[in-house]
Amino acid sequence: MSLLSGHNIDYRIDTIRILEDIDIEVEAGELVGLIGPNGAGKSSLLRLLTGVEACSAGEVRVDDKPLALMPATQRARRMGYLVQGAMAYWPFSVEKVIELGRIPYQKWWQQPSVEDLQKVEAAMTKTETLAFRNRIVTTLSGGEQTLVMLARIFATEPELIFADEPVAALDPYHQLHVMEILRNHAAENRAAIVVLHDLSLAARFCDRLYLLNHGKLDCCGSISEVLTRENIARVYGVDSHIECGEKGVSVTSLSRVSEHHP
């Protein structure tokens, strides 16, 4: 039984079909990468899987039970969602932002409990954000902000983490840091689903990849099954050089394929 699964997922906005007939499965312990060109439907699929948006057809199941029937609080506790370009609208301190991750455990009149504050502390340790706990989050660098937003999710202690392009616009050091944190999370018999544009990073960290194209699942499987020259040329429209060394797979885009029409 898989931890999370999607069956024949369709998603439409008005009459525009965003996703069509997607099947996806995520086992406990896995870090799964969602890849594909811009507009392929990666973010939409992530939103359906987190339950933030409802499928037009098909269903998402968690522990083989329909996600749509799961109480909202339960869903909030079990599934953490890092939106693309997550930011705070008010100049909160780092600690206060991370405290927001405990909201699913509080009633509407309650303040954070001692236990909540302990979880916040643990989340800060896990993400190495203790050093700037008192800083104002809006004054942090992009990399630090991403770590804080991740810490907010860890404070919730979810089984599943969904991250939408968490490493876009980060420097190599922070890219590795964020991906390591997500992989460690998956290694605790939990799971993470990450939307990525950097194929080499996807190859280095993910257990399996789902390649989306024009709202459809193009292919899925292990790194070597998905990241082939043919697949990348067909879906991304670029000719690439793929190098498999003992230190991992690296994908280099060489040139655009002239006959490709995205």
Partner 1 sequence: MNIKALGPRVLYAILLPVLLLALLLALNVGPVEIDLVKGIRDWFKELTTIESLILFDIRLPRSLLAMFIGATLGLAGAALQGLLRNPLAEPGIIGVSNGAALGAVIVFYYGMAGFAWFLLPLGGLIGALIAVSIILLLVGQSRSIITLILAGIAINAVGGALIALALNFAQSPYAMQEIVFWLLGSVANRSINELLIALPFMLVGWGMILYCGRFLNALTLGEETAKSMGFDVARLRLVLVLGVTASVGAAVSVAGNIGFVGLVVPHLIRPFVAYEPRRLLLASGVTGAILLLVADIAVQLLSSNGEMKLGVITSLVGAPFFLFLILKSRNVLQ
- The residues that touch partner 1, with contacts defined as CB under 8 A, are 47, 50-52, 72-73, 75-77, 79-81, 83, 86-93, 96-97, 100, 103-104, 106, 108, 138, 149, 152
Nearer to partner 1, 116 or 211 (CB): 116
Nearer to partner 1, 151 or 226 (CB): 151
Cβ at position 151, least distance to partner 1 in Å: 12
Nearer to partner 1, 88 or 179 (CB): 88
Nearer to partner 1, 139 or 253 (CB): 139
Cβ at position 83, least distance to partner 1 in Å: 5
- Other Cβ atoms less than 10 A from the Cβ of 258: the count is 7
Cβ at position 88, least distance to partner 1 in Å: 5
Cβ at position 154, least distance to partner 1 in Å: 14
Cβ at position 108, least distance to partner 1 in Å: 5
Nearer to partner 1, 25 or 92 (CB): 92
